[in-house]
Structure 1
Amino acid sequence: MSARIALFSLGGTIAMTPGAQGGGVQPTLTGEQLLAGVPGLADLDVEIEARDFRRLPGASLSFDDLRSLANAIGDCDADGVVITQGTDTIEETAYLLDLLHTGRTPLVVTGAMRNPTMAGADGPANVLAAIEVAADPAAHGRGCLVVFADEIHAACRVRKTHSTSVATFASPNGGALGHLVEGRARFLSAPGERVTVRLAPEAGFRRVALVTATLGDDGEILRAVADRADGLVVAAMGVGHVPESYLDALTELAGRMPVLLASRTGAGSVLSRTYGYPGSESDLLARGLTGAGFLHPYKARILLTVLLTAGASWDEIVETVSRAGAVRA
């Protein structure tokens, strides 16, 4: 029996063509047009339904767009789902979808670094690979995956690591989950624990700020957050360190809202008890911040936004962030 695949196109480089007035490319192609440019589809035992969901650059997608997409995915009858979108935000949108998707149907996000007018456009190969993964029974129960350049990545840890390379996506903490080999998904590990969150349909997304600690910063930007955000993620130096100038503001903010402590380095975990000076990880945790473990700051912001929107209690936030930030497949 053929696998039924639903393809949702959201725009992005993979769907871009030159604008009518010349100049740069813009997202114009429909899902059907994307599929028409993919060689080898006829050789797959799949039935594909294309849905033209959005035509936006990745940077213009919103939380509401992604919640609407998650709802549409939940309503469709398919064995697997493929989402095509701009690569600028895949590391964030894929994790948001992973948190909102409570079923076992695989979601596979892909895109392209080279638009269809360029030599060596990578969109068709990525779409083919994404469909092959979405149709594979081994992908069930793994939540949302990112498939790019024949690699399969977990949404919870994938990162865009280069501005232009077609091999831009990588998973610094643990590596790829698997690879496409002769058109088949080959996973290197069993499915791991997933964190999911249910949202009320009418809940408005809460605002979570992300502040990166930098050399010589006086911390004034933190004070600007106080009345404009419901939560905060601090992308700290190294294993969780900030300048001493941050301490008064962070102590006050941690008494008013959830504040997560992540590392700006892009790989590795924040620590909890190695350093003990003012502004160190142990000092910040004692002031009420919560360590985000291995979560990248971008992922931590997505998770905290969803938890606050779901009305999670402080204890629930701490427990969920702890699970999400632990090492897992």
Structure 2
Amino acid sequence: MGFEVTRFQGPVDEELVCPICTGVLEDPLQAPECEHVFCKSCITQWISRQPTCPVDRQSLTSAQLTQVPRILRNLLARLVISCDNAQYGCPRVLNLDTLSTHLEECEHNPKRPILCEQGCALVVPKDELKEHNCIKELRSLINKQQQKMNEYQHEFNELRFFIIEQRREMQLLKDFMRALKTSNPSMRAIADAMDREQQDREVVRWSSSLQRARVTRWGGMISTPDDSLQRMIKRTLTEMGCPSHILDDLMENCHECRWPPGLCSLETRQNNRRQYESYVCKRVPGKQAVLVLYCDNQHMGEEMMLEPGLVMIFAHGVE
């Protein structure tokens, strides 16, 4: 809908009036063929009922509407209009292009947010401040928050049930594979392959749940961590839900004695430092350590990667 003509100072050219609402154009759009101009909301609503120009009935769709020429926008911008809040006491008269900015700050706006100073510190519209009841509003806010908490709890319970079912199905599959190996030796190779595939999928799912990490100081790498540091990292990996079938291998791969050729000595690590930036690293929460899992780093060569992955511990430099 356009602006009421009576709000403007002086006469308004009829070219600046919307043929649909007969108000001064607001967010104007133009029909490409006949060049008739309308308020955006007016013409959009019109076309939703009948796809024609309201003036000459030529075929017209929303996709065909275009922006009006700059000269028309400039003419609209120079029009002088009274504030929307004139009836509430605002005396301002200003150019149309500055109206929206003024309305955001107008102190006469009955809907201007006001901070309640009676104790609740809630923000309420100015015209509702007299009827504002702190206790009632706080109680309503608490009820809404409680309702959200109940919804979150319901979603959590559903998710937990889903996870339990997934684990149950996974255990049934493992039991089936174990029974298949025992009862039919000829199927053992197939069962082993299926078992490995299932384990690989489990690692990929776990990896996708971990947060990416960035190493800023590769020189801070601890290539020979002591037993206490290894135990601390292993405990953290267990708490992170690391699949049990790769946990021990990962921890063995935290020492340079088990690292691939490109990392197994200080000299080779220095020669290959440029390749470090290609690693996809996952964060070990709360620790200056990262996981470099094989499933995330199959683009790395054998000299820089091994299965199921590496644990790299640092003195500093992990973000």
Question: Does TM-score exceed 0.5, indicating one fold?
Answer: no
TM norm structure 2 = 0.16
TM norm structure 1 = 0.15
Larger fraction in strand: 1
Question: Rg: which structure is higher?
Answer: 2
Larger fraction in helix: 2
